[in-house]
Amino acid sequence: MNLFNVGITSLNDKQKECIEKYLYKRIPDENTFLKSSFKLLANNQGEQPQLRDKRFTKVKDTYIISMLQLAPMQISGKNFCPSAGCCKEICIGDSGTNGKKQMLARLKRSFYYTEQFNGFFERLVLEIQNTKNLAALKKLSLFVRLNGYSDIPWLEKTPDIYTLEEIHKNSTLEKADIGEQPKNIFKLFPDVYFYDYTKDYCYYIRHINAKDQHKNYHLVYSYDKICDRVNQNISKNWLENINDLAVIVSQDLKSELMKDRDNENDHIGHNKKICYIDGDLDDNRSLDYHVSKYKTIILLTFQGPKDKVQNFAFTEKMDFENCIITRL
């Protein structure tokens, strides 16, 4: 597919500026950029450069993880992470590990999303369906993460009624499955598992409150020191409402906390039932071990520059316990 096919035939000045500023000194050939093919989803089967990380490849014989990655704000000029806090400064989507080719594809997806949301949604449905067929052939389950470098409230994203008609014509989804009313992506694929992280506390709560309607969508709240202050204005004890929390810590602190878990000491002294999960081993949050009445804390090690670790990650156990554990 190319952007001509989806109705974007030229780039506006802002879009050209994005490409020029971050990817090329000048766009050598606008048509080449527009015409080059791209997919919305990358998956962990085969050599997908976007998902080469061990958190995805370790499990590729067990299930398929498919991910949608948009370009971060610094590149696209469009803020797909409006609730991001301190991480904005060192966004992982803008780190040196991202190749130019991948970034270009993310830019195209971002332009497509903002300019032609209905077409984007239709394309997303078709790609999920294709990946679902691939998963069925390999006898694997399919897990989809839609917010790679974005924080879009997908629960509330639905295409217009005409797009639903197109989806019905072009996909193998039955009319009865699609229905007359716009449906979000989770309802269109009740047999596919979706998971994501969010920094948007209000969205997380809306997700919890509507959990019965989308059991195939698992959301983890991602802790951020700046967001903490903002969330306290919404609800003083906001952390109590979080069941699945991702926290960035230093490598040493993660080892210490994981040792506590292995010694079954992880909740001693705080009268809390906490289950620590090493989030660096596997990205698939849908499969995290859940015990009723336990809060799940996903420990992720800081991936940014070493000199910034103090600003973004917990390094001391006491600090971590005071700030997180005692408030859950």
Report if residue 87 touches ligand SF4, rule: CB under 6 A. yes
Report if residue 91 touches ligand SF4, rule: CB under 6 A. yes
Q: How far is it, in rounded angstroms, from Cα 275 to Cα 297?
A: 6
CB under 6 A: which stretch of 91-99, 237-245, 275-283, 300-308 binds ligand SF4?
91-99
> In this chain, which of 41, 64, 67, 81 binds ligand SF4, going by CB under 6 A?
81
Least distance in Å: CB of 83 to ligand SF4?
8
Report if residue 84 touches ligand SF4, rule: CB under 6 A. yes
β-strands 63-69, 274-278 pairing: unpaired
CB under 6 A: which stretch of 81-89, 115-123, 226-234, 240-248 binds ligand SF4?
81-89
> In this chain, which of 88, 138, 168, 317 binds ligand SF4, going by CB under 6 A?
88
Least distance in Å: CB of 94 to ligand SF4?
7
Q: Which amino acid is at 302?
A: F
Least distance in Å: CB of 96 to ligand SF4?
14
Which tokens belong to 247? 């926290």
Task: Determine phi and psi for 175, rounding to 5 degrees.
Answer: -55, -40
Give the footprint of ligand SF4 on residues 176-205 (CB under 6 A).
Answer: 199
Least distance in Å: CB of 149 to ligand SF4?
4
Report if residue 72 touches ligand SF4, rule: CB under 6 A. yes
Sign of CA dihedral 191, 149, 79, 35: negative
Number of residues counted as binding ligand SF4 (CB under 6 A): 11
Task: Determine phi and psi for 234, rounding to 5 degrees.
Answer: -85, -45
CB under 6 A: which stretch of 85-93, 159-167, 262-270, 277-285 binds ligand SF4?
85-93
Q: What is the CA radius of gyration of the chain?
A: 21
How many angstroms separate the first and last alpha carbons of the chain? Answer: 47
Report if residue 279 touches ligand SF4, rule: CB under 6 A. no
SS3 of 39-59: the string is CCEEECCCCCHHHCCHHHHCC
Q: Which residues pair with 300 in a beta bridge?
A: 248
Q: How far is it, in rounded angstroms, from Cα 272 to Cα 243?
A: 12
> In this chain, which of 112, 149, 186, 312 binds ligand SF4, going by CB under 6 A?
149
Q: How far is it, in rounded angstroms, from Cα 38 to Cα 300?
A: 31
Residues that bind ligand SF4 (CB under 6 A): 72, 81, 84, 87-88, 91-93, 149, 151, 199
